[in-house]
Amino acid sequence: MTHPRSALTLTLTLLAGRTEDLSSGRRPLLLVGPSLGTSVSALWGPALPWLDERFVVIGWDLPGHGAGQPSAGPFTLEDLADGVEEALAGVVAEHGLPTSTPVLAAGVSIGGATSLTLAQRPETRIDRLAAICTAARIGTPQSWTERAELVAQAGTPTIVEGSAQRWFAPGFMAEHPRVATNLLQSLQHADRHSYAHACHALGTHDLTGRLGRFARPLLVVNGAEDTVCPPADAAAIADGAAAGSVPVRAVTLPGVAHLAPAEAPEATARLLEELLDG
């Protein structure tokens, strides 16, 4: 399922459940998004056995990652959020999604930043959102520019080793080699220019002055071992949102670094069930 737009194309993949359950209203829809460098199927695959108990799960890939077509030029987090909304509109139109059917969205890292962006839109069709292993601002514009230039010139294989150190908590790769290998292979095969465009998008992502503007209930999940987006980042989002009128819950998962759905799949799925149940 591909829904093109003028600046960006997001490709959707049915990961769990049946689309007939959407049109009948028997199950809520969960849209899941990837982390930078991962395919959505590799990242969320470990959590699907638990998510399949409650949701129809549809994943979206970043441009040039997984099933996604390469990006033709730079894009922003707002563009990604627009792409998710347009893709969701296509699902609604195609399957006749009843207005009473809950729609949840969850993303990791850049996907989580997209969730934060969407959660500030009062008119979005998405009812509740989860921002996982992310922050209101990640890194610095300079660091993202440097990484974008490196990858655009030398390709994504040059950053596989460093990403493995950032992505996983100590011992995870030895205990779950297949999961880790699938994720690192998705990074190695990502389109280098699309990856660089995503780096530039993260370099301009900064919601630190807008945390009181959330318009949808929000769950923020960070890993205790995450050096990219540590638990303090989730706490900062919840604290900043306290001035607003929408509930924001922050949760820290022990023994998890930067890819919670792969590292703690059952715990992540249960948190999303709790988000659904309010």
- Spell out the domain ranges in the chain: 2-277
pLDDT value at position 5? Answer: 41
pLDDT at 8 over 90: no
Q: How confident is the model at residue 4 (pLDDT cuts 50, 70, 90)?
A: very low
Distances (CA, A) of 169 to 61, 197, 228: 24, 27, 12
Residue 217 and residue 246 in contact, taking contact as beta carbons nearer than 8 Å: yes
Burial class for 44, CB neighbours closer than 10 Å (0-12, 13-18, 19+): buried
The span from the CA of 56 to the CA of 103, in Å, is 10
State the average pLDDT over residues 36-41.
98
Tell me which amino acid residue 142 is.
Q
pLDDT value at position 245? Answer: 84
pLDDT value at position 23? Answer: 84
pLDDT in tens, 201-242: 999 999 999 999 999 999 999 999 999 999 999 999 999 998
Q: Where are the alpha helices (DSSP H) in 46-140?
A: 48-51, 77-95, 110-119
State the average pLDDT over residues 250-259.
98
Name the one residue in this structure whose structure tokens are 């992505």.
Answer: 167
Q: How confident is the model at residue 128 (pLDDT cuts 50, 70, 90)?
A: very high
State the average pLDDT over residues 256-268.
98
Looking at the domain covering 2-277, what would its CATH class be? alpha beta
Q: How confident is the model at residue 93 (pLDDT cuts 50, 70, 90)?
A: very high
